[in-house]
Structure 1
Amino acid sequence: MLIGRFTLWFFLWFASTFFNTSKGQHHSPQKYEFRAVWVATLNNIDWPSRRGLPPEEQRKEFIALLDTLQKYHFNAVIVQIRPTADAFYPSRYEPWSAYLTGTQGEAPYPYYDPLAFMIEEAHKRNIEFHAWFNPYRAVSNLQAAQLHDEHISNKCPAWFFDYNGKKYFNPGIPAVRDYIVTLIKEVAKNYDIDGVHFDDYFYPYQVPEEKIDDYATYLRYNQKQFDNIHDWRRHNVDLLIRAIHDTLQRLKPHIKFGISPIGVWRNASKDSLGSATKIWHASYDALYADTRKWLREGWIDYIAPQLYWSTRSRYGNYDVLVPWWHKNSFGRHVYVGHALYKVDGEDGGDNTWHDPQELPRQLRKKVAYDAIKGSIFFSAKHLYRNPFHILDSLAQYFYRYPALPPPMPWKDSIAAEAPPKLTAHLSRQGVQLQWSTPPLAPDGEPAAYYVLYRFSLAEPIDLSRPDKIVYIGKDEHFIDTGAHDLPAIYVVTACDRLHNESRRYASAVAEPSPVYGSQHAGSTLIPYRKY
């Protein structure tokens, strides 16, 4: 009886969720949309599940995560590889992370390179890998920390200040900026990452009755350039952001640089350019992070403001902030950071998160704004828990079809060349498709992956329709097992690394064959046709 009641309740809830999602606001499937999840390693929030987990189990966990993301049509993963001046990769400068091996400075045993492994597995699934660094946080808990002798805070203690039980790099010291840039350069040079990512931690979140101990640094390095310490602190962070941008442009210009700050730049009560919000820790004033300036100057490629408030919040209302970031994007991409952890029970005192419609409501509303190019969910473990069956909503509605990460024309606007030929023939497994490698694009770039579409003969070939995509990947062959209504037209395009799709395509028609399904079916060749 209880099982029956639960089944009825779930059916009514799911029907309400799905149909309410569809009512009142049409949601056209998006071909270009950044779909990502944060994977936090600090305190083993998401991965690995515990300190000292054997490497084989670490790999199994990460593969399971990627398989889930692929299944639900995510196209990017953002993994924290440097949480507290430690590393999830072999570094010349910083020790192995205790969150990985159990002991700071101890390498994985049996040995492997976790970062190389994660990148390779993500790219196998055509998922972008963004390397998430915490630039300034060095120790997250001074009382519990067991630091390796080679930890940078032991080697260069003058570079740091303690605040609220944590240890931070002092952003005002030029050598600190140089050191952080060197760390970014090490990873960008040695690994095939798609992006460098910072979160909201710059200067520390301030607490009452405790001051940041950097006044002596201000007196030493300000050199009368700024009238107050607050502008000087913002300038210090500006210098780091610009230096990282310039370094990546020189080293590997295809690497994206993104920031995920707290979702409010400034309150309008302090600045007419700010948002109609009332939060205490606005990034400009509290963390000295002038995120709007970084967009205006073109120093970052995307911003992912953590819009961790509900649509009914009195302090940082979601419905206020989405249009504000749209208006202040300055031609760069905005990806909304969604508070999946609040849907999963950590509501912060706002009962709106108890409404199963809150997150679907947020996902719908952002689509109305052109500058909002995608979503990032915090975090992976909450996605796994599937609160309010959000994965079902993604699979049935929001992420029902695959999507490509949106191109960034300021980084690369030259499209890939199309495959010169596509062939198709029938087999017992389905329609077997094969295409040839395209020539290099005019900028010398090879094709990074391919997009295969299927249309009926009665339909126009419209490559803006993600519902027609049957394959996205690096292979130059595919068996379509879902082609039930033949004849059909297949179209294949090529994309470069930054998702510029070829303007031409190769195509072929798969027609019903009288020998389809017989022992000779595999020998039936469908002629190549170009449209």
Structure 2
Amino acid sequence: MNRLLCFAFLVIVNGFVSQNTLARQIPQEMRGVWVSTVFNIDWPTRAGLDAAAQQAEAIAILDQAKSLGLNTVFLQVRPSGDAIYPSALVPWSRFLSGRQGQPPQASFDPLQFWIEQAHRRGLELHAWINPFRATTGLNDHLDSLHAMLQRPDWVVQYGNRFYFDPGLPEVRQHLLEVVAELITRYDIDGLHIDDYFYPYPVWGTEFPDTLSFRKFGTGNPATRNDWRRDNINTVIRSIHNLLQQEKPWIKFGVSPFGVWRNRSTDPAGSDTRAGIESYDHLFADVLLWERNGWVDYVIPQLYWDMRDNRAGFQVLLDWWDQNIQNRHLYIGHAVYKIDTVNHIWGSPSEIPNQIRAIQRLNRPTGSVFFSQRHFNRTDLLGLADTLSRSLYRLPALAPNMPWIDNTPPPPVLNLQYHKGEVSWEVVTGQNPFNEARRFIVHLEPVSRRAKAHGHIWFITGETRIKLPRRPLLSRARFHLSVMPVDRNSNVGAVNTLYRIYY
């Protein structure tokens, strides 16, 4: 009996030690992909597909993300004053059904489907919104629910599109109501805004906000440009406050244009000569948002190559690394630029070298790729294989954000293994911060035969998984461990079954 008690004690101690070891072995790195719905860039591949076809395409994208070693999907849910989900405030997007205001199919909620399927695979789903684009052209057919028809005074024409004027308090309040509806109804992991704050400049044409500036531009902002930045600051701060009030576990981030300011414009800027500057042309004061804690992550779109003499990738990476100090920094990559003819973007090492440069940073970081459909190409110069077999061979969690929460979830219960199937139960009734949302499954080789196969890792959102079938002659002894992971990538204590035969 004493021998049994001693053995049990050793098992517990070994399990406790391996928990810390295992948690350290799983990297925390953003590995994301943008999925664009505007113009059917990524999903759905064309308007008018029935629900079954849209679901099949979504599943294929999520399975592909999983196979590449990614952990986060940034899904565009508001392309142009509309939505890919049923809303009382904005119409259905035409990129689903082919006609704005028309649902893709009765009782089908595309966003809910994406969230459920992403979570089953252990992936995060961040809802990506375009805040101020009202239309994609001058002659778009608009549904009667669209805010441009409800309130034409909110909208201005600029270039070949219509935009909501960020200088109008009613516009900003409407956007806040849209966000409130979105986060209240859906269990999203993050809320994401891209680089379109004020629109990219139409050269020689001023954004037509003279009337709103005259009405609301008096006061502290010294110039119209300062006032425009203050309008966007108000939006970012208001969304942050809303999230803190309603669902403080939702991560909030932005992906600005990759150059904040050139050094020739501002001594604090980067050593670049870009024609666009996010601060001056899109009126995005990203450094202020990060410094004030209004955003949780920043993803500058560094869509240049390593050798670009106007805005080199490494120069910009170093600048953003030095200037984003309080929140997480991820980097956007231009997968769409890969071109077998181009002497720079035709190099198989360009984007892998960018990723390696990011991984060398001494901080929580990672990569996001624009956009998903390019991973379907056959001329990606081996990028997909490089990710899945090398750079992202080991699965990773999205980085923990300690300012949100750092308390791990309780361990799983009733861990079982039977004929290749692993199952467990979770502790229910937890604080939303500490709910187990995904699980790390680890098979540690014990026998000599098992060690020849190495460690095996899975990340899943389900509580029952079927392990891949193995040939009978290659089966061996492993320790099987499961660790729960909460919304914020806090890893809970391990539960282990010793010496299973798999």
Q: Same fold (TM over 0.5)?
A: yes
Match of 1:469 in 2: 457
2:336 is equivalent to residue 341 of structure 1: yes
Q: Superposition pairs for residues 72-221 of structure 1, below 5 Å?
A: 72-142=68-138, 144-221=139-216
Do the aligned residues in 1 keep the contact of 2:305 with 2:345 (CA within 8 Å)? yes
Distance 1:171 1:439 in 2: 43
SS in 2 for 1:216: helix
Do the aligned residues in 2 keep the contact of 1:39 with 1:80 (CA within 8 Å)? yes
The farther-off stretch of 40-49 and 109-118 is 109-118
Match of 1:414 in 2: 407
Match of 1:462 in 2: none
The correspondence for 1:260, drawn from 255, 263, 277, is 255
Do the aligned residues in 1 keep the contact of 2:447 with 2:477 (CA within 8 Å)? no
Match of 2:7 in 1: none
| Equivalent position amino acid for 2:369 in 1 | F
Distance 1:332 1:232 in 2: 25
Q: CA deviation at 1:485?
A: 6.3
Q: CA deviation at 1:423?
A: 4.6
Do the aligned residues in 2 keep the contact of 1:447 with 1:496 (CA within 8 Å)? yes
The farther-off stretch of 434-443 and 58-67 is 434-443
Q: CA deviation at 1:434?
A: 4.2
Match of 2:483 in 1: 493
Q: CA deviation at 1:54?
A: 2.0
The correspondence for 2:391, drawn from 386, 394, 398, is 398
| Equivalent position amino acid for 1:384 in 2 | N
Q: State percent identity of aligned pairs.
A: 38
Do the aligned residues in 2 keep the contact of 1:333 with 1:373 (CA within 8 Å)? yes
Distance 1:487 1:115 in 2: 42
SS in 2 for 1:58: helix
TM-score scaled by length of structure 2: 0.88
TM-score scaled by length of structure 1: 0.84
Inter-CA distance 418–261: structure 2 relative to 1 (3 Å threshold): same
Do the aligned residues in 2 keep the contact of 1:194 with 1:256 (CA within 8 Å)? yes
SS in 2 for 1:145: coil
SS in 1 for 2:192: strand
Q: CA deviation at 1:479?
A: 4.0
Match of 1:450 in 2: 439
Q: CA deviation at 1:351?
A: 3.5
Match of 1:223 in 2: 218
SS in 1 for 2:381: helix
| Equivalent position amino acid for 2:192 in 1 | H
Match of 1:283 in 2: 278
Q: CA deviation at 1:43?
A: 0.9
Do the aligned residues in 2 keep the contact of 1:62 with 1:118 (CA within 8 Å)? yes
The correspondence for 1:358, drawn from 350, 353, 356, is 350
Match of 1:274 in 2: 269
Q: CA deviation at 1:65?
A: 1.1
The correspondence for 1:507, drawn from 490, 496, 500, is 496
Deviations 1:427-455 (A, max 9, x none): 4xx4x544443476688733222212122
Inter-CA distance 41–471: structure 2 relative to 1 (3 Å threshold): closer
Match of 2:451 in 1: none
Match of 2:361 in 1: 369
SS in 2 for 1:36: strand
The correspondence for 1:36, drawn from 32, 49, 53, is 32
Distance 1:209 1:470 in 2: 54
Q: CA deviation at 1:148?
A: 2.1
Do the aligned residues in 1 keep the contact of 2:30 with 2:71 (CA within 8 Å)? yes
| Equivalent position amino acid for 2:495 in 1 | A
SS in 1 for 2:290: helix
The farther-off stretch of 394-403 and 219-228 is 219-228
The correspondence for 2:382, drawn from 376, 381, 389, is 389
Structure 1: tracts of 5 or more residues without a match: 1-27, 460-465, 517-531
Match of 1:6 in 2: none
Match of 1:313 in 2: 308
Inter-CA distance 472–150: structure 2 relative to 1 (3 Å threshold): closer
Deviations 1:471-509 (A, max 9, x none): 53321565464594643222221111211001x322221
Alignment coverage as a number of residue pairs: 471
The farther-off stretch of 450-459 and 316-325 is 450-459
Match of 1:23 in 2: none
SS in 1 for 2:353: helix
SS in 1 for 2:330: strand
Do the aligned residues in 2 keep the contact of 1:39 with 1:78 (CA within 8 Å)? yes
Distance 2:483 2:26 in 1: 18
Structure 2: tracts of 5 or more residues without a match: 1-23, 449-453
Inter-CA distance 147–389: structure 2 relative to 1 (3 Å threshold): same
| Equivalent position amino acid for 2:410 in 1 | E
The farther-off stretch of 248-257 and 149-158 is 149-158
Inter-CA distance 488–312: structure 2 relative to 1 (3 Å threshold): same
Distance 1:471 1:213 in 2: 49
Do the aligned residues in 2 keep the contact of 1:245 with 1:300 (CA within 8 Å)? yes
Do the aligned residues in 2 keep the contact of 1:414 with 1:443 (CA within 8 Å)? no
